[in-house]
Each structure stands twice: as C-alpha cells, then as structure tokens.
Structure 1
Amino acid sequence: MFSLNDRKLTIGPMLAKIAENWPAKVISIALAIMLFVFHRMSLQEERFFSVPLSVETDTSLTPAGPYPGLIGITLRGDANTIYPILEDDIQAYIDLNKYTEPGTYRAPVQIRKKGTALRAEALEISVDPLEVILSLDERLSKTISIKANFSGALEPGYELGEYTLDPAHVVIEGPKGLLTDVSDLFTNSIELTGRSVDFSTTVRILNQQPLLSIRGNGLIEFHGVIREQLRIQNFENIPIRINNLDEQFAGELEISAGSIRIEGGQTTFNKIKPQDVSLYVECSSIDSIGEYLLPVSALFPAMFTLMRQDPENVLIQIRRRQQHSIGNGGS
C-alpha cells in the first residue's frame, strides 16, 4: 500500500509535467473551443421574413407621422427549429405607453413570441431596424360624410338618378393635426359600365391616409337608380282634326295646324312616328250653327309628357251642310 509520501512523490511530477509549456497548452485549448463554436455556427441556418409593426401608446395619443409598417425578422438556428415557426407567431412592436404628451420619441423594436415560436429552443431572433423614431399627437374623433366615387359610363341614353349610401356618415379617428383637414371620404370605385337598370352593391370606403382609422367595418351599401335620359322634341305643322261633329254641320277652323313639345326617354324617341302625334277639337256637344272657341287636345304615346302646345284653343265656325234633292232639278 502506498503511503502519503509516496502519493506526494507521484503527484508532484504529474503537476510539473502539466505545467510544462502551459502557455502553449492554454492556446491549444482556446483554439479547440473556438473551432467547436465555429463548427456549431456553421451548422445553423437563417430564415428571413417581415412582420407588421404595431405601436402601443397611451389611449389619448396616436401616431402622427410615418413609421415603418413592416419589420425585418431574422431567425437563426437549426433547420428543424426555425422553419416550423409560423410568421404570425412573431410579433414586432414598440412600446410608447409611458409617454402622455404629444412629441417625437425614439423606441426600440421589441419582439413578442407566441404559439410555435414559444416551443422553439436555441432560437436567435434579430430585427431590422433596431429602433423607430415616431411622432405622437392627441387622438381625436370626427363624424364625416361619405361620397360615392364612380367609374365607367352607363348604356347610351341612360343616366344615374338619385342614389343612397348606407351609412351616409362614419366616425374616423386620428391625430389632431391630420383630422382637422378631413371633411369627407370617398368610396372605392363603383363601376357603371354597361348598366341600364337600378342596382345595389357593397363597396369599401377609400382610406388613403393610414394614420386615420374608420370605426366599423369600413363597408358601404350603395343603391342607385338608373333612368333614361330625358329628351324634349318639337312636332310642328300638325293638322288639327275636327272630331265627332254632327253630320248635319260643317266646321271651319280659324287655325288649321299647330305644334306640340313633348318630353320622354332618349331611347323612346327612337320608336315614335309622326302619325303617333295629332291635334284635334272635340265637337260632339255642338247642336247648332255659330262660332265656338274650343280647346285643342293633343294625342301622343303615354310614355311622353306634354310640355307645351300651340294653340291651346281655336275658333271654329259651324254652318249647316247644304241638302241636295235629286229629281225634277229641285233642291
């Protein structure tokens, strides 16, 4: 059995041997560690994508100037770790809740993980940019009107009459300095091309200012009434007829012709013919000779509206027809 002195004699030369050329041995160990780390790093992969940037502020303030809408994300790790991660499970945000007065502030971009990102081990996440400078202003709301925005042209001969928007007004929110200049918003384009009948559609409100938000779902119900374009046309030198005069009488008009002006749909005028329009005086109530002032009536298709008529009344001279008897030259 070895004694304590024997052990000392054995350990001493060992320590001396280990300490021999110790600087070179330390460098060798450091190089080995570095080679191991570099080897592990060479086995890691990178994945790049972008996620929306959310801004968290005090409820009385809101962003008042442009800022990056997307943040670049870099995931670093082994393939089995980084590729199963869903992009929606990485959230980028800046926290400005501690600021309660309007102004311009600088804040770091932070990452919030959820879902698949929480289960990933040995995961490195970096962002670009690292920080954001952002202006804040007082948050206000305002009720404004909505106007329809049209494109295209209706069928020839038709026009858009009245239309309704439901809702006709919406509430928008945004920074005080920007909201002051907004008086109304337009819908997205409502296509009219080729239409000739009433129609309804759902259309989104056009919001060209990302710093403004619209309460509700941002959708508008549109209903439009389409009608024929109106046209007015004159008809001249229309003979005035004598209607239903007793056969024992004959009538002579002071004015034998007149004119009318009618209004109707643009396409409807293409179907009307000159013989479809006439003027007459009604004589069924006359039972004796003499001079009468009678109203002149106009006949035209029911889809038209009478705008003007000339004459409105006319003098007619009624005389008795001559009776001729045949035989012995008598009359």
Structure 2
Amino acid sequence: MSFLLFLFVRYQKEYTKDYVTKIDIKNIPSRLLIANDIPENITITLKGFKDNIYELPTEFSAYIDLTNASIGSNIYNVNLAGDIDYSKMNITVNPSEIPIILDELSYKTVPIKVPTVGIAAYGLTVDKIIINPSNTIISGPKTLISSIDEIKTFNVDITDKYMDYSSISRIHLPRNIKSDVSRVNVNIIFDKDLDRVEFNDLAINIDNLNGKFKINDHNPLIINKIVLEANKIMLANLSPDDIKLYIDLQEMTNVGMYSNVSVEANIPVHTRLIEIEPSFFDIEIIERDVTDTNNINYTNNNIATNEENINNETITNENSVTNE
C-alpha cells in the first residue's frame, strides 16, 4: 500500500516542459551550401519530477554538424550542445533528424523585371519600364540558379496613375538565393494614346481689377484658338466650360495702357496646353465714370437692402407662427 502511495505521489509530481530552440548549422564544406528548406526551430521535450526541477537546464541549444558532408541529399542528426550529461534526462528531440541537400555554389547574371498591378487612369497601358540597374548577379545552389532566368521586384501599383511614374522597388528573391542588388529605380512610361482638340472664341475673365477702374473694351478680350493635348478618352468628355481663361490685373493700380498682359489658363488635370492665340493683350485701364460708380453702389445697396428685407420677413413669419 505504501509503495502505491509512493508511486501516486511521484506521479503527481511529474514535470514536463517543452523548449523551442533554433538549429545552428555548423561546418558547411567550402563551395557548398544548403539547397533545400529546413526547419529553423526544433522542440525539445524534457520530463522529470518537480522535486528536482531546479536541477534541470533552463534552456537548450541544438546544432547539425556538416563536417564530413558531401553534395547530394542526406539525413543528419540533430545534436544538443553544451557540457550537460543528457543521458540521465528523459529528453525527446523533435525532429531528431533532418534531411539536407547540399549543392555547389553557383553565380549567374540575370535581368530584373518589374511586375505591375492595378489599372491606370483612362485605361492607359504601359509603354515601357526603365529599370536601373537592369541586371543583377545572383548566387545560390547550382540546381536553383540554373532554373532562374530573371529576378522580379515586388509588385508596383499603377492604379489611377496617368503621369509617368517613378519609384524605388525592392528585389523579391527566392529562398536560398542572394543578389548583389537589393533595390532598383523604376520609371514607368505610359502609352497615353494622345490626341488634340481645338476650341474657338472663348471669353476671358478679368480678375482683381480695382473697383474704381474699368477696362476700355473697344477691343473684345476673346481667345481665338486654344489647343489642348490629352488622352483620347479624356478629350471625348472635354468641353469649353472645363477651361478657365483670365487676366489678373491686381498689379495694375493706375490708369493707362498696359502692353503684353499675359492670359492665364486653368485647364483640366492631365491635359497639356499646346497653343493659345492670342496669348497676350494690350489692356487700357480707365477711371470708372461717376454714374458707373453710383450704379455699382446702388446695386450693392439694393442687394444689401433685399437681404435685410428677406431676413426681416423671415423673422416676422417666425413670430407669426409662434403667436399662433
């Protein structure tokens, strides 16, 4: 009975712990390297009793020794490192053996390609991609190197892009392959399928003219011709209302004749101004007549009075609703 009680107590005090540790690969022969994927970690399971828990290791380390290894595939034992006598411990190593393929180190020069994802604005297609540098020297197992004809970067997103696009992209390398290039400069040139459109007889707006002046408009300010260049799909939806033409007179603070005053054009994004005719005007600024000034003041006063009447009427209506 006492013996059974002893076994029961010992069972209750049984101790199990898992350790996860990295595998260190040692003594790889010169000019050889590992050609297959091997696990980075192994699990070491240690069993014992809680009454001697403080005598157990707090960590483990493991390694595979390739001192006498040769080219090809072989199974290699996982060894536990350190000066500990593991024979007195109940230890399980998982996995305890690992297949490793050794291959000859090889080099190769291959081109670099840039894959793109997404759809550019207006359905534009990529005309060409300029990559700098355009080649790289890769190194790795001979069997892998011989099967690689190019190296790609990570995807470049061209969604909604229209203007030619530049970026820096990182090289995306297969496992066990190294490259002497890690990043490349990428310039993406779009085939914009360009066309041109011409609009005629467009009026010009006058901006920032002092209120006491006016323009002697004996010659109308009209643009005879304006030519824009853009993608064909965009041009199909373009109208004269999308173009804003103006002359800024903020700097003209005195009456007189001003020669070669330039016309400013606000055009839609992704369009290019090819021609505008005329692009300059001679502007004569004269003083506004007293009658014109009074008319302006009268108009402004009427606007203010009307706004005040509307506000008063609104207040009256609100009061009427409240009284009801």
TM-score by length of 2: 0.49
Larger Rg: 1
